[in-house]
Amino acid sequence: MNNENNESLNSIPLGNMEHDNNISPVPLENSNDFNSIDETNEFINNNTEDINYVNEYDIPEPINNFNITPIFNDIGIVPPLEKNDNFSENLNENKPKKGINKTLFVIIIIISLFLVGSIVYFLLHNANSKATIITKEVSLEIGDEVSTNKNDYAIFKNVNSNNCSLDTSSVKDIKLGAKYTYKIICNNESYTGTLTVIDTKPPEVKTKKVTIGVNGNITAESFISECNDNSKKCFYKFENESKVMNHLKTPESYHVNIIVSDEAKNTTVVTVELIVSEDVPSLYLICTKDFEDYKITNKFGIVESMFNKYTNRTYEFHFDNQEEYNTFKDNNKDKEDVTYKNITGAPNYNDNNLILSINKEISYDDLNNEDDDIVPLNFGELKSFYQNKGYICKIGK
């Protein structure tokens, strides 16, 4: 091999090689024995198997602060890292756990809200759970029974009213407008309230038709057959009294309004019929007599000192007890005519005295048939006739 070929051979880079001093170089017996670079290379490869050399590389610092240094192979390439479980765990440990932190934050907020809500509920519940009894201003409608329901007298908060007692012993001799005290007693504590007697209901009234002579005298009460009110007292007046007085001057049939009121000023207005007639007397001979079952009152019409054959009779019955009176009244409620002990006529009730009055007109023929005698028409003779039969007679309107 010539010098040119030697220079070519020497120019082949072999890298930085550190030779082992204990290995002797392989001499080339004859450089001219190689005809080409390929033969030269083949020779080198076949005779350098025992040569130890070390590649010198610049070693980089550890990557990403992990205690792992890359290892290079003989040709200067960093091979892929083998799977290392400890390495993965280190990565997971050092990786920020954002999802877990958010979840923990939400849980803390929820727990905090629950605790705050529980505290508020506890405070409110304790405030509302305090036992409280508030007495009422109680009103008692006159005529009604005194209530025994404790809830009508007080408001019970967090208290069972069944564990309390009611004392209304002071509510007696009930009068309209009167005030009484009552007591609610719970757990040995007494709560006092006031009960007031009131009347808010107007009277219930039944009326009757009235016939009167020209220029006769009449009152509003003459049209009332029955008045029921819890106060037991009724008052009557014409809605327009002057107009009624004018009606009395002219024979005609009229409708008149009457105002009925009670002690509490509750009122009701009723319309009645007024008949003004020339045939109706302005004076009466009034004769009364007590019989075994009733009292009779006869009103005989008198015109110019003569009996005009008009008679109005009232039968008055006294009941012995309230139950009998109420039973009869209830059984004949709203009836225009009733029958009691064979007497039939228009009823009128007096609740205070348990009296039933039955009113009816008696014809002149009926009078004659009753006594089997002729009833005189002269005023003086008529008065003597009935006085002799035990009647008490007087002049009236």
Residue 149's pLDDT is what?
93
* Per-residue pLDDT, 195: 96
Residue 15 corresponds to which amino acid? G
Max Cα-Cα span within the chain:
202
Q: Cα 337 from chain centroid?
A: 46
**Averaged pLDDT, groups of 10, the chain, 397 residues long:** 46 47 50 55 58 50 52 56 53 55 84 83 63 91 91 91 92 90 92 94 91 86 90 92 94 95 94 87 89 93 87 94 93 89 91 92 89 88 94 90
- Among residues 217, 207, 212, the alpha carbon closest in space to that of 271 is found at 207
pLDDT at position 36, please? 55
